[in-house]
Amino acid sequence: MKSIEQLGILAVQAEKVLARASSGLKNKALLACAQALRSGANDILEANRTDLDNSRAAGLSDALLDRLALNEKRIEAMAASIEEIAALPDPVGKIISGGKRPNGLMIQKVRVPLGVIGVIYEARPNVSSDAAALCVKSGNAVILRGGKEALGSNRALTTLLRAALASEGLPEDCVQLVEDTSRSSAAELMRLNQYIDVLIPRGGPGLIRTVVETASVPVIETGAGNCHIYVDKHCDIVMAASIVFNAKTSRPSVCNACESLLVHRGIAAQALPAIAEKLGEKNVEIRGDEAVCAILPSAVPAVEDDWATEYLDLIISVKTVGSAEEAVEHIARYSTGHSECIVTNDYDTALYFTGAVDAAAVYVNASTRFTDGGEFGMGAEIGISTQKLHARGPLGLENLTSEKYIVFGTGQIR
Amino acid sequence: MKSIEQLGILAVQAEKVLARASSGLKNKALLACAQALRSGANDILEANRTDLDNSRAAGLSDALLDRLALNEKRIEAMAASIEEIAALPDPVGKIISGGKRPNGLMIQKVRVPLGVIGVIYEARPNVSSDAAALCVKSGNAVILRGGKEALGSNRALTTLLRAALASEGLPEDCVQLVEDTSRSSAAELMRLNQYIDVLIPRGGPGLIRTVVETASVPVIETGAGNCHIYVDKHCDIVMAASIVFNAKTSRPSVCNACESLLVHRGIAAQALPAIAEKLGEKNVEIRGDEAVCAILPSAVPAVEDDWATEYLDLIISVKTVGSAEEAVEHIARYSTGHSECIVTNDYDTALYFTGAVDAAAVYVNASTRFTDGGEFGMGAEIGISTQKLHARGPLGLENLTSEKYIVFGTGQIR
């Protein structure tokens, strides 16, 4: 088993080749990776069965077992996702800006790979292939550190991916797996500034917090989503109910799902029953403030913790507010800065909300569920950033690059 | 004296107003700041004299005393610099990209302030006014944490700046100074993720390393410059000598000065004497490898440490190499990723070098001294980033912003 430092050294070596590989070569290698997953499906499934057996015996919850489980269909989806990534435009080499300076220097700002990316995630084998493909496409060597429950599956996957890369002439160490899944190896990875340029944690709030607090390597935080919808006094109640229903129930376990509803008191008596009726179709539990509970007999009283909770479940907290300003203040206090929405017909209020709310994505009259690389037109994403440094919102290929100034002179001195 | 946490809370409150202030208001407030430094020059100079007396008594070196010292001319330069920053275009509110999605959603990616920025620096009072002006212009509240030797000067400066901001209706807490200059307060500041969005350390390698290793707040590393010039076999020797002389001697103490020279063996016998003669005009000490010492009687033998040293002085390490590839490998090993240069007449070698060298700025036939916000046409800079996340190279106003997606819908659900 290689040490963390060895992985770092090998990644830097591989990166030197990968960073300068042509788009054509990278795409060919990715298509080979997709084929390798298909033809090696039996190896992956066998390793996954062992992972599942061990995790079941260790008492992993059904939800986590479901995330860990692979089948033919899921492997096909992973292969298809790699092919989609191969089809995306290559961000590397693009001239972002540039021009001639008065002294004749020709300055170009060019996109270059970040270098070596560490991805730290939980027991979801599909993240391994997605992250590997996004990193290779953007010219970055990747060190994958998945949850220990998925180690066998990840080993089978990365063995296939590495062989496929090598078959097309790219270094196999463009994709490496940390096989030592101890806490100390994770901590070492997070402080390997000499070899790793960026860390991307993907997972629950506990994982993210640990990485942010431990890492000295720069981190792109892919964060939790305590997403709000504010239903303004002037709004289309049918639209409000439809947006809240979609944002809460279409996929409750994801970070862009709505967790908290704010309703203007001037429309609460009309809007709340309509929204509650719609949410009732999927038996969503409503935790409301006093005014909400007075209007909705089915609501249970919310406690302080509810306002800060990302349920990731068919539960929603609901609060009445006296103004858009009060809604904005509540959001500033409890939001995780992911996706926030206002439903309104009022022009000034819409503009006020989009200006005053500080989040990766701010919506007027649309479901928060649209915060997604594909929906935003950037293709596959490696996560959704809730920090303000480097990138905010869905992280596409472009966000996996850095920049470099290239300056062509004719002997200029200063 | 306010606690670090109190400073954070006040900064967030001020930031809410500042983030939405118009360019006109911010510019008016900055012009008032410039005037305040001029009319309050006596207060600043008096405080600075006390700082200097204390520091002299404490045995601070002459070089550090010089950085700490203010006079009428330096204060005028600080005021003029604030006026220049006021005259730059406001990055906030710019639509970076956007368009209509097939489902009718109108998506805009808009520049927004980063939020609250912590700037950690040494005993250089001019950094206080520069950093404050750049942050205010880009809509960010700033918490300044300067070296303890400059505390009195910084207190005088920020008192004037805060009053000037308030006189134009901006919150005075847009600019705050950490008055507790203990190590523990610095450590607390670096881990104040709840209130601070980004940390920018400015100073020597020790300061930068401490911040990178201690901080949980995201950091923009403004780094050291172990900058190389590679003199290729095919080159204009007169140009090479002129560029090396300029890059080494025009301002030896800055991070874009050249520290190490690589010369192709095929031209060393001709190029080295010409370069050494030019460097001799300023008595630059040459530390060379065996081949260099054989050609230049004045050279002293270099030791391994020399290749990794940023002298910031009239000393240069000189090594002979057999090829551009060997030069690139040496640079990859010892470079800090700041500014690297090749002097060549060969087209292929020039393109190879700019592609293969991984640094913030890569030059062909021009002095490394051009790596500078003003020289790159972006106006004043807050530092030069040598990390790959967020921004690389000179950090202008645009690099002090984040982005936000604003999505206008008509009831879209997913």
Q: What is the pLDDT of residues A223-273, one digit of tens each?
A: 789 999 999 999 999 999 999 999 999 999 889 999 999 999 999 999 999
Strand ranges, E, within A101-240? 106-113, 116-121, 141-145, 175-177, 198-202, 227-231
| Per-residue pLDDT tens digits for B286-343 | 999 999 999 999 999 999 999 999 999 999 999 999 999 999 999 999 999 999 999 9
Interface test with A, best of B354, B406, B408 (most A CBs within 10 A): B406
The beta-carbon neighbor of B404 closest among A193, A239, A360 is A360
Put simply, the answer to whether B389 touches A198 (Cβ < 8 Å) is: yes
**Residue A9: predicted pLDDT:** 97
Q: Which residues in chain A have their CB less than 8 angstroms from residue B198's CB?
A: 388-389
Helix (H) or strand (E) holding A364: strand A361-366
| Phi/psi at B13 (5° precision) | -65, -45
**Residue B119: predicted pLDDT:** 97
The residues that bridge with A408 in the sheet, in sequence order, are A106, B364
Q: Which residues in chain A have their CB less than 8 angstroms from residue B390's CB?
A: 218, 389-390
Structure confidence at residue B88 as a pLDDT band (50, 70, 90): very high
Regions of chain A where pLDDT drops below 50: none
> What torsion, rounded to 10 degrees, do the Cα atoms B86, B91, B93, B96 define?
160
pTM for the predicted model, two decimal places: 0.92
**Residue B397: predicted pLDDT:** 96
Put simply, the answer to whether A392 touches B403 (Cβ < 8 Å) is: yes
Kindly tell me if the per-residue pLDDT of B155 is higher than 90: yes
**Residue B350: predicted pLDDT:** 98
Give ∠ CA B257-B258-B263 in degrees, rounded to 5. Answer: 165
| Phi/psi at A106 (5° precision) | -100, 110
Put simply, the answer to whether A410 touches B114 (Cβ < 8 Å) is: no
> How close is the nearest chain A Cα to the Cα of B216, in Å?
5
Put simply, the answer to whether A375 touches B402 (Cβ < 8 Å) is: no
> Within its chain, how far is the Cα of A216 from the centroid?
21
Helices (H), strands (E): how many in chain A? 15, 16
> Domain B227-370: which topology?
Aldehyde Dehydrogenase; Chain A, domain 2 (3.40.309)
The beta-carbon neighbor of B406 closest among A332, A362, A411 is A362
In contact, B159 and B24? CB cutoff 8 Å: no
Put simply, the answer to whether B405 touches A376 (Cβ < 8 Å) is: yes
> How close is the nearest chain B Cα to the Cα of A234, in Å?
14
Put simply, the answer to whether A388 touches B197 (Cβ < 8 Å) is: yes
Query: Which residue from B minimizes the CA distance to A208?
Result: B216
Put simply, the answer to whether A367 touches B414 (Cβ < 8 Å) is: yes
Distance CA B310, CA B112 (A): 36
Q: Count of CB contacts below 8 A, A vs B?
A: 204
Put simply, the answer to whether A413 touches B246 (Cβ < 8 Å) is: yes
Mean pLDDT on B262-269? 98
Put simply, the answer to whether A246 touches B413 (Cβ < 8 Å) is: yes
Using CA atoms, how far residue A270 sits from A232, A347, A349, in Å, is 12, 21, 20
> How close is the nearest chain B Cα to the Cα of A342, in Å?
10
The beta-carbon neighbor of A243 closest among B219, B402, B413 is B413
Q: Which amino acid is at A338?
A: H
Q: Which residues in chain B have their CB less than 8 angstroms from residue A245's CB?
A: 413
**Residue B356: predicted pLDDT:** 95
In contact, A288 and A316? CB cutoff 8 Å: no
Q: Which residues in chain B have their CB less than 8 angstroms from residue A388's CB?
A: 114-115, 197-198, 218, 402
Mean pLDDT of chain B: 96
The residues that bridge with B401 in the sheet, in sequence order, are B113
Q: Which residues in chain B have their CB less than 8 angstroms from residue A390's CB?
A: 389-390
Class of the B4-222+382-408 domain?
alpha beta
Smallest CA-to-CA distance from B326 within B271, B260, B262 is with B262
Put simply, the answer to whether B365 touches A408 (Cβ < 8 Å) is: yes
- Provide DSSP, B6-28: HHHHHHHHHHHHHTT--HHHHHH
Q: Which residues in chain A have their CB less than 8 angstroms from residue B362's CB?
A: 404-407
- Count how many Cα atoms sit within 13 Å of the Cα of residue A297 in the half-sphere of its side chain: 0
- Count how many Cα atoms sit within 13 Å of the Cα of residue B149 in the half-sphere of its side chain: 22
Q: Which amino acid is at B20?
A: R
Put simply, the answer to whether A105 touches B366 (Cβ < 8 Å) is: yes
Q: Which residues in chain A have their CB less than 8 angstroms from residue B197's CB?
A: 387-389
In contact, A79 and A126? CB cutoff 8 Å: no
In contact, B337 and B385? CB cutoff 8 Å: no
**Residue B300: predicted pLDDT:** 98
Q: Which residues have CB under 8 Å from A275's CB, separation 6+? A: A231, A237, A240, A241, A244, A245, A261, A263
Put simply, the answer to whether A366 touches B105 (Cβ < 8 Å) is: yes
> Within its chain, how far is the Cα of B396 from the centroid?
9
The residues that bridge with B405 in the sheet, in sequence order, are A361, B109
Using CA atoms, how far residue A96 sits from A93, A108, B95, B362, in Å, is 9, 8, 16, 16
Sign of CA pseudo-dihedral A386, A387, A388, A392: negative
Put simply, the answer to whether B101 touches A404 (Cβ < 8 Å) is: no
Helix (H) or strand (E) holding B57: helix B41-57
Mean pLDDT on B237-259? 96
Q: Which residues have CB under 8 Å from A99's CB, separation 6+? A: A106, A107, B377
Domain boundaries, chain A: 4-222+389-408, 227-370
Q: Which residues have CB under 8 Å from B73's CB, separation 6+? A: none
Kindly tell me if the per-residue pLDDT of B204 is higher than 90: no
Put simply, the answer to whether A413 touches B250 (Cβ < 8 Å) is: yes
> How close is the nearest chain A Cα to the Cα of B56, in Å?
34
Smallest CA-to-CA distance from B175 within B210, B215, B146, B208 is with B146
In contact, A80 and A160? CB cutoff 8 Å: no
In contact, B230 and B327? CB cutoff 8 Å: yes
How is residue A108 written in tokens?
């170009």
**Residue A222: predicted pLDDT:** 87
Distance CA A3, CA A8 (A): 9
**Residue B38: predicted pLDDT:** 98
Q: What is the Rg, in whole angstroms, of the alpha carbon atoms belonging to chain B?
A: 24
Exposure letters A56-87 (e unless 16+ CB within 10 A, then b): eeeebeeeeeebbbbeeebbeebbebbeebbe
Interface test with B, best of A198, A229, A345, A402 (most B CBs within 10 A): A402
**Residue A251: predicted pLDDT:** 93
The alpha-helical segments, DSSP class H, found in A149-204 are 151-167, 183-190
**Residue A38: predicted pLDDT:** 98
Smallest CA-to-CA distance from B84 within B136, B124, B133, B128 is with B133
Q: Which residues in chain B have their CB less than 8 angstroms from residue A375's CB?
A: 101, 414
Structure confidence at residue B205 as a pLDDT band (50, 70, 90): confident
Q: 10 Å Cβ neighbour count for A361? A: 29
| Per-residue pLDDT tens digits for B381-394 | 899 999 999 999 99
> How close is the nearest chain A Cα to the Cα of B122, in Å?
21
Put simply, the answer to whether A411 touches B216 (Cβ < 8 Å) is: no
- Provide DSSP, A78-95: HHHHHHHHHHSPP-TT-E
Instruction: Identify the DSSP state of B161.
Output: H
Instruction: Identify the DSSP state of B377.
Output: T
> How close is the nearest chain A Cα to the Cα of B177, in Å?
23
Query: Which residue from A minimizes the CA distance to B109?
Result: A361
Was domain A4-222+389-408 assigned CATH 2.60.40.10? no
Burial of B99 (0-12, 13-18, 19+ CB in 10 A): exposed
Q: Give percent of chain B above pLDDT 90.
A: 93
Put simply, the answer to whether B405 touches A193 (Cβ < 8 Å) is: no
Q: Which residues in chain A have their CB less than 8 angstroms from residue B250's CB?
A: 413-414
